[in-house]
Amino acid sequence: MDRSAGSAGSRCPAAAWPLGSGRFANCRLTVRRPEGVEMSSPKDMEPERTLTLSPDDARKIAHFLSLLLDIGSSPGAAQSRERAAETPDRATLTARARAVLAERKRRTVLFPAVLFGEIAWEMLLWLYVTEDEGERQTIGRLANLVGAPHTTALRWIGYLEKEGLIERKPHPNDRRTVFVHLLNEGRNHLDRWFASLAEPLVSN
């Protein structure tokens, strides 16, 4: 099997039969007479013979060759590429967070808000959405967004801070104002959560 280059920077079988999709989409399979090998019949002396495969066989060969090429790479490289391909982009993740917030708000149209007391979770959601839009939240604004008294908001902010999910930072010019930010740990957890949703929520 000839593994000559089918395109710049990639290895693939030479011309004869298309190998389906993926990295071998533009490659073809060829069976060649080995150099210096004495053949036993005139038919075997043909300089090149084409092997005919079904589309299913071609896909299996392409998959097998992909596995072989991944053996020499770092452990888990193939799985990492698959995960990267499946991870939604930032705009999709943020849209899912907005949809969750909208659905939570819509519940209060039919039910008393006191039934849905997840203040810490809503704080994380609001920070996730508004920071993506470039908006910084003070303690007071964050308390208003989640509909919690200032003292209750402070208690949950303290808890989330101890968990390493958020941090408080004073305003550079006004020491009376304190901003609340997501830390990388909190943002990464939220990224994974929204990426794990099978489909984006749809809100009206």
Could you read off the pLDDT tens digit of each residue along the chain, which spans 204 residues? 444 444 444 444 443 445 554 555 555 555 454 455 454 544 444 555 556 667 667 767 776 666 666 555 555 554 544 454 467 888 899 999 999 999 888 888 888 877 887 899 999 999 999 998 889 999 999 999 998 999 999 999 999 999 999 999 998 888 889 999 999 999 999 999 999 886 655 444
9 Rama sector, left if φ>0, alpha if ψ -120 to 50, beta otherwise: left
What pLDDT is recorded for position 181? 95
Through-space distance between the first and last CA atoms of the chain, rounded to whole angstroms: 57
Distance CA 160, CA 181 (A): 11
Q: Check residue 189 and give its pLDDT.
A: 95
Residue ranges and CATH numbers for the domains of the chain are: 22-86 (no CATH), 90-195 (1.10.10.10)
Would you state the pLDDT for residue 156?
A: 96
> Are the CB atoms for 26 and 43 separated by under 8 Å?
no
Give the global pTM.
0.56
